[in-house]
Amino acid sequence: MGGQERLRDYRGKRDFGRTKEPEGRAAAPGSEPRFVVQIHDASTLHFDFRLQVDDVLKSWSIPKGPSDDPKDKRLAVPTEDHPLEYEEFEGVIPRGEYGGGTVIVWDHGTYQPLSHDREGRPVDFGTSLDHGHARFRLRGSKLHGEYALTRFREGLDESWLLVKVSGSTARIQGTPDPRRARSARSGRTLAQVADGDGQE
């Protein structure tokens, strides 16, 4: 299934005449895969965790946000694939539109796929996600190091866990207060983005 096909759910939920969210484009070949963590002040405040796989961002909603403490197992609920440019999206989705509310880019960067089979051979990252377990090393401005995503429930309430793989635990930060956290793109808080973009 191509990226354009994979974005059908994403596009079907949105009116691009009303929201400034992106419609979607193709991936630049050969570049390192990207990740982004957004804070989204919608009907419930949550984090959105997205990993580039080919020409879409595979996406999970994480109510409590990612933690760099290996003891924290964070619930991650899959959401529809998003276009690659969504990594840049920060602003206000109009009230009444799908996901209406303020979004900031809390962290972004690249990641190194680390998924292996039982014999220790590397496996295709998208395939490892299809099979329900993927490991990767994040290289962001806030999140660094190895993480694992593991599906523990399938079906209508499909659910995953995002966990930091123990390793360098020198400076554990946990998860910051999403109301005080600042954008990795603009340095702004949710409230500052809401004030700046919500009045246009």
Binding stretches for Mn ion (CB under 5 A): 40, 48
Q: How far is the CB of 46 from Mn ion (least distance, A)?
A: 6
161: nearest Cα among 79, 87, 69, 60: 60
Q: How far is the CB of 65 from Mn ion (least distance, A)?
A: 12
Q: How far is the CB of 99 from Mn ion (least distance, A)?
A: 5
- The structure tokens listed for 131 are 């099979």
**Nearest CB to Mn ion, comparing residues 135 and 190:** 190
Distance from CA of residue 28 to its chain's centroid?
19
**Nearest CB to Mn ion, comparing residues 10 and 128:** 10
Contact 86, 67 (CB under 8 A): no
**Nearest CB to Mn ion, comparing residues 135 and 188:** 188
**Nearest CB to Mn ion, comparing residues 70 and 159:** 159
163: nearest Cα among 143, 184, 139, 140: 143
Residue nearest to Mn ion (CB): 40
**Nearest CB to Mn ion, comparing residues 6 and 40:** 40
- The structure tokens listed for 137 are 């090393």
> Is residue 98 classed as helix, strand or coil in its secondary structure?
coil
Instruction: Measure the CA–CA gap between 28 and 32, rounded to whole angstroms.
Output: 9
Q: How far is the CB of 37 from Mn ion (least distance, A)?
A: 11
Instruction: Measure the CA–CA gap between 73 and 67, rounded to whole angstroms.
Output: 8
